Amino acid sequence: MGTSEELIALEQRGWEALATSGEAAADFYRHVLDDDIAMVFPGGMSIFDRDAVIASMGGDAWSSFELSDIHVLVPVPDVGIVTYRSTSQRGDQPTYVALVTSVYTRRGNAWRLTLHQQTAA
Model confidence over 11-57: pLDDT tens digits? 999 999 999 999 999 999 999 999 999 999 999 999 999 999 999 99
Identify the CA nearest to 115 among candidates 4, 12, 34, 58: 34
Residue 99 has pLDDT above 90, yes or no: yes
pLDDT at residue 13, rounded to an integer: 98
* The pLDDT of residue 106 is above 90: yes
The Cα–Cα gap between 61 and 15 comes to 10
Q: What percent of the chain has pLDDT over 90?
A: 96
For residue 36, CA distances in Å to 12, 43, 96, 110 come to 22, 22, 27, 15
pTM as predicted: 0.94
Can you list the domains of the chain with their CATH numbers? 3-120 (3.10.450.50)
CA-to-CA distance for 42 and 75, rounded, in angstroms? Answer: 26
